[in-house]
Chains A and B, each alone.
Chain A
Amino acid sequence: MFKNHPTLKHILGRAGWYFVTFLVAVTINFFLPRLGDANPVDTIMAKVSAGLDTASAKEKEESYLKEFGLVEVDAAGHIKRDAQGKPVRASLASQFINYVSMSLRGDLGSSILQHPKRVSEIIKDALPWTLALQLPTIVFGWLLGNVLGALAAYKRGVFDKVMYPLALLMSAIPAFCFGILLVYVLGIRLEWFPAVGGYDDGMTPEMTFRFFASASYYYVLPFLSVFLIVVGGQAIGMRSMCIYELGTDYVKYAKLLGVKESKILYYMFRNAMLPQLTGLALALGTMVGGALITEMIFSYPGLGMAVLTAIQGNDYPLITGCTLLVTVCVLIANFSVDILVGILDPRIRAAQQSGK
């Protein structure tokens, strides 16, 4: 059916693969937190039961049990009860089915710490900050790193001697260490930039110029802290890739033929780019993880901060909600890179042309 559309076939194949990965991620998200003995309802009850009499505490507990899908519910939405009037506990399998169908509908339950706020609401507030921080840093960091790496490999000399050790150091500094360094030196000691937070105290997120200006000022340090590390890591990869390309026959041959330098550089860049793009797909998970920890160091109001507060408060629905969303974002980003590779890879393009 897709014989004549290799690109489309490639895209559909990848889409199917990523859907399977998504299901595995949902499964992990469901089962791992249930490995432990912690029960979310007990955690909430410990918090809210104080001052309640037994009957209303029991009623409350049952409403939570129902909300977290821990008991069987009949078609009318009432809790099923056994002969003694006790609620029937849902089996792990039915809990799982319930969880998957809820996740697919975007319903992630409600937070324990900020009960009855929905997890999806908290995430909706946090996600734009994370996207605004991570998307540009990774995309532009990747681009700049590759250009610098290719230039260093081609020019060698002083440029390479300065850039290479710097890039090596940047790629070896753990993201969180660099973040702490920036907070302390530029934020607290020199007071050039605000050290923590996403915008001025007393402001609420809104679409005004004043808020935007404040947010951009707070953006500088977290941006730099992730950006420079991505640039360093990518520059090193691209540099060694280009040094390899420079030694290949096609470059030597082109040089002997007297092909223009810029043209050789262009060919070399294109050939080294594809593995770098595949490398990006593989490194995305680590990059996003590192950036999440950077968010925590800067108390940036994104998903990283949400995960941190959730962990500190044993807020399981919020932890799993955030981890699932981060995974979904990484999957989408990976999928986009995969599609890009499919479009750029001359082998897939060639198959497309010969298929016509």
Chain B
Amino acid sequence: MKMFKNLLKSPSFVLGMGLFVATLLLAFLGPLVLHVDVTTRVGLAFTPPSAQHWLGTDHLGIDMISLLIAGLRSSLYVGFLAGTVATIVGTLIGLYGGYKGGLIDDVLTVGTNLFLVIPSLIVLILLSSSIENGRSLTLIALIIGCTTWTWSARAVRAQASSLRGRDHVSLARINGYGTMGIVLLHIMPYLLSYIFMVFILQTATGILSEASISMLGLGPYDSISLGKILNEAIRNEALTDGAWWAFAPAMVLITVIVFALYVINTSLEGVFNPRLRK
């Protein structure tokens, strides 16, 4: 409770959370208030904003607001799913290696560092381009999660290895707890706030990765995402046609979500880590 009060006192947390909640409301309440239809052509290609269609139409004449809401929903979905997968994989590897130490830790660390050095975008490109058919939104999210977990494993490992020598961990070991029991019941609870921060950053990474991959034309076949809106706009020369409404709003949305998540993360760090508090 006290922690929560501290959070609300931090202006950057309020700012970040406010922005993030606003995008969530747009994504989930938007369709209830506004008429969302991403299949009907309501006008000519790249019709400028009007009273009827606040942000005009895209290259097919589809209402931009509808596309943006649908795209926002998919991007948030990819972000959460990829963030969850990356956090779980990274946390488990980090906790296990950090607690175990020795050879297992060395092997896990070398493996993690290996995939940390090889650019995740490259692995994403290779994987996505080999899956020609059936590149669904969910599959893309899972692929992103499986390629971006590395730095969270590294970060969690460092934290876990500092806890392994604590008395309560030794006591648990003497009492006959297994490795997984100790890791999950006696080490992880101490790192929950840290893992939550990792999750927030991984979600931001997930949203950015999906947008990057979609920009390359390797986006999902079954849904509209913010990255796909950008890709379509550029491919259909919205830039040279001066149709700013076809790409600027999607750019603003991506930037706002990522900015909000970064700000939330920084403010959480200030609250969770008493040493940084002034």
Contact = CB atoms under 8 A, between A and B. Distances in A.
B121 A292 contact: yes
Interface string B126-137: 110111100000
B239 A183 contact: yes
Could you say which of A37, A171, A172 has the most chain B C-beta atoms within 10 Å of its C-beta? A172
A24 B114 contact: yes
Contact of A312 (B118, B217, B262): B217
B259 A172 contact: yes
B258 A172 contact: yes
A311 B211 contact: no
Interface string A281-292: 010111011101
A308 interface: yes
Contacts, number: 134
Interface in B211-241: 211-212, 215-218, 230, 234, 239-240
A293 interface: yes
A214 interface: no
Contact of A334 (B117, B129, B217): B117
A168 B208 CA distance: 16
A230 to B, nearest CB: 15
Interface in B78-123: 110, 114, 116-123
Interface stretch (A26-34, A56-64, A250-258): A26-34
Contacts of A180: 230, 234, 239, 247, 251
B255 A320 contact: no
Interface SS of B by simple majority = helix
Interface SS of A by simple majority = helix
Contact of B126 (A18, A312, A319): A319
Nearest to B134: A36
Given A174-B258, A184-B244, A285 B132 contact: no
Nearest to A175: B212
Interface residues of B, number: 40
B216 A24 contact: no
Contacts of B239: 180, 183-184, 188, 195
A289 B215 contact: no
Contacts of B149: none
Interface in B235-278: 239-240, 242, 244, 247-248, 251, 254-255, 258-259, 262-263
Contact of B122 (A177, A195, A327): A327
A21 interface: yes
A108 interface: no
A307 interface: yes
6 contacts: A35-B130, A172-B255, A297-B234, A314-B129, A323-B125, A331-B117
Question: Closest 9 CB pairs between A and B?
Answer: A289-B121, A285-B119, A36-B130, A172-B259, A32-B126, A177-B251, A323-B122, A33-B130, A35-B130
